[in-house]
Chains A and B, each alone.
Chain A
Amino acid sequence: MKPTQVNGRPEAGAEVEATLKLVAGLAAPEGLSERMKAGLRTAAPAKGRVLPWPAVQPASRGGWMRIAAAAALLAVMAGAGWNAYRWVTPAPEARTAPATVRPAVQGGFSAAGAMRTPQTLVGPTALVEATTTPEKKTTGKNAKRGHGAKIGAPVVETPRN
């Protein structure tokens, strides 16, 4: 592209163009292409190889081979599966009595989790009178011996004639 006049000052544009062209026109170092090629050779990934016979045989020619191989593979797999089934013994059943399961009471109440709480309030008094037990009459003999006497009362000794 042609250098242009900048802000009415041709020298400003010219000197910028001159510097940039100087940098852009610097020659590449010698042997650059060879170094690039060598780098590409070492870094080039290995090309995919066409698999040899019989993997890519057309179906019309190598079809029977493929079928036979598939059948053999299937037979081997089936045999291996049968062997595994035969030789693997099932684990014996546990000899434990099953725990009795209590049937849940439908619609009932349960005392599980219940908590006793002391009565802190004065409850209502019973209207029924308490029955008093009649005191036993002490006979003379018993009275002398102190039977039937009240506890704590002084025993009076009577002199014998």
Chain B
Amino acid sequence: MSAAQAVFSGWMENQEIEGRVQATAQSSDAAVAALVDEYAQTLYRVAYSVLRNTADTEDAVQEAFMRVLRHRDTLGEVRDHRVWLIRIVWNVVLDRKRRTKTRPETDDVSEMARVLPAGGLTAEEIAAAAQHHAQVLACVEQLPGKEREVLQLSAFEELSSVEIAAVLEISESSVRSRLFRARNLMAELLNHKRGLR
């Protein structure tokens, strides 16, 4: 083989390597895009249940997908993408909440009334319902962190106790016991509030 032939064949091989790398990058980008299409709504709802602020929630979801993008080469190793993504967004949300200490929008009764479905209800009924929900959410905020997290995640019907345990990285029995405690505490808090009125 002459030197020119060797150089040419080497150049061809490099073109193939580059093509393969680009194809892998494109496929991993496509995988991330597919995850966005599939789970963006779920992640938004999970994040909103804690932050209750539209702009902050979108930022948190974006940050979660940025973390996914950084690990796009290892996406194939993830067993359950849904639980994995919820865990990522959950950690992002908790970090943000710890850092910024933003006041949830739904602390305001008017904001709660805005997000409430107005299915055949009068304005007065909507206002009363909004006030009630705002009070319940204020009580939820008073719960200890561990109990509150489990209670908030339990509201998502698509998450089983096993999946909640996977998200919070605790055992399933811990999920159940924390949920039990959270509900008891919530009942006490609500009774106390009613007693004050």
Contacts and interface: CB of A to CB of B under 8 A. Distances in A.
Interface string A31-58: 0110111011001100111101110111
B133 A19 contact: yes
A97 B183 CA distance: 98
Contacts of B160: 1
Contact of B45 (A17, A28, A56): A28
A152 B190 CA distance: 133
B66 A43 contact: yes
Contact of A16 (B9, B22, B183): B183
A96 interface: no
Contacts of A36: 36, 40, 61-62, 65
Interface centre among A1, A7, A40, A43 (most CB of B within 10 A): A1
Contact of B140 (A13, A20, A39, A48): A20
Interface in A1-29: 1, 4, 6-7, 9, 12-13, 15-17, 19-29
A148 interface: no
Contacts of B25: 47
Q: Range of interface residues on chain A?
A: 35 or more
B109 interface: no
Nearest to A25: B45
A17 B49 CA distance: 13
A53 B11 contact: yes
A62 interface: yes
B161 to A, nearest CB: 6
A141 interface: no
Contact of B183 (A13, A43, A48, A53): A13
Contacts of A25: 45
Contacts of B137: 19, 23
Given A6-B184, A16-B187, 13 more contacts: A4-B183, A16-B136, A19-B133, A22-B116, A23-B52, A24-B155, A28-B41, A28-B45, A28-B48, A33-B41, A53-B10, A57-B10, A58-B13
Interface of B: 3, 6-7, 9-11, 13-14, 17-18, 21-22, 25, 29, 32-33, 36-37, 40-41, 44-46, 48-49, 52, 54, 58, 61-62, 65-66, 69, 106, 115-116, 132-133, 136-137, 139-140, 151-152, 154-157, 159-161, 179, 183-184, 186-188, 190-191
Q: Which 10 residue pairs spanning A and B have beta carbons closest together?
A: A20-B155, A28-B44, A12-B187, A19-B136, A6-B187, A50-B18, A24-B155, A61-B6, A6-B183, A28-B41
